Amino acid sequence: MCTAATYRTADFYFGRTLDYEFSYGDEVTVTPRKYPFHFRKKGEVSTHYAMIGMACVAEGYPLYYDAVNEKGLGMAGLNFVGNAVYSDIIKEEKDNIAQFEMIPWILCQCATVREARALLEQINITDEPFSDALPPAQLHWMIADSVETITVESVKEGLRIYDNPVGVLTNNPPFDEQMFALKNYMQLSAKPPVNTFAPGLELEPYSRGMGAIGLPGDLSSQSRFVRAVFTRMNSISGEGEQESISQFFHILGSVDQQRGCCVLDDGRCEMTLYTSCCNASRGIYYYTTYDNHQITAVDMHRENLDGEKLVHYPTIREEQIRLQNG
């Protein structure tokens, strides 16, 4: 389905893969500070933080899959099918926010995860659809800044907010169960293995990489979580921008889904439609698509952030190949 991750070198990076069988028309979308957000139960917010991310723009409204605001706070919604539960009751003492409004509601007001935590204490996530054609998606969310990361899940027991020390989120099962499952892999290492199986035997590694034997390689959400955590937590790169974004794409590349490897009941294939990496410190959104491995960038600060209209760029989907000797 999807994988989100954070990464920090000299700057802070936030991004995700979106794995699905079709696209809703993804566009890199900049929402300037004076774009009027109309919240169904909270009215209009006409002045707010600017943000950039990937969205489906429907009826002039940015339905963000992931975004980062000008203060460096990032947020992504990932599928949480079968576990996400939203309220069908309006609670007068709460901020009643529809599922599709979650990312704008948090990012237009909060500069840090700490501020987001406070806002979440007052929230009631409702099951109001955007439209008849776009019913509520079953999601959970990762919210991160350069200091900390949290996971937010609206389940039948209520709203759950978890500290996320690994900076990774996938889909099912619930986040606390995913974290518990990491204990099954704590013996894995990026270094060569040491013989603890039978110290009396002369057992030597016959290949590089044997310290990670047992690392899951399938495309299930639990396995992707383990693999992405292992890759991120062991990742090494330089501090520069090109080195950092290159490494980030390699981290998410460890859970890339290829067409044909995850076939659905109707014959369609789930695949990685796009991979994003946003330099949250600078407001630069980088992405690749399934058929275009060239990294493309959109810099929010090159737009008029005091404007009132959305700026959105369709993703480049055709492969860009550089002929080196031409």
What spatial distance separates the first Cα and last Cα of the chain, rounded to whole Å? Answer: 39
Distance in angstroms (rounded) separating the CA atoms of residues 225 and 254: 10
Q: In sequence order, what DSSP letters do the residues of 277-316 get, joined into one string?
A: EEETTTTEEEEEETTEEEEEEEEGGGS-TT-SS-EEEEPP
Q: Where are the alpha helices (DSSP H) in the chain?
A: 102-107, 113-120, 175-181, 221-233, 241-253
Number of Cβ atoms within 10 Å of the Cβ of 92: 7
What one-character DSSP code corresponds to residue 136?
A: P
Residue 230 contacts by C-beta under 8 Å, 6 or more apart in sequence?
A: 185, 188, 212, 215
Q: Which residue from 284, 298, 278, 291 is spatially nearest to 320, judged by alpha carbons? A: 291
Distance of CA 67 to the CA centre of its chain: 9
| Residue in the block written with tokens 């979440």 | 120
> And the tokens for 227?
């693999």
3-state secondary structure of 268: coil
Tell me which residues are annotated as active site.
2
Count of H helices and E strands in the chain? 5, 18
Is residue 211 a contact partner of residue 193, using CB atoms and an 8 Å limit? yes
Residue 24 contacts by C-beta under 8 Å, 6 or more apart in sequence?
A: 56, 63
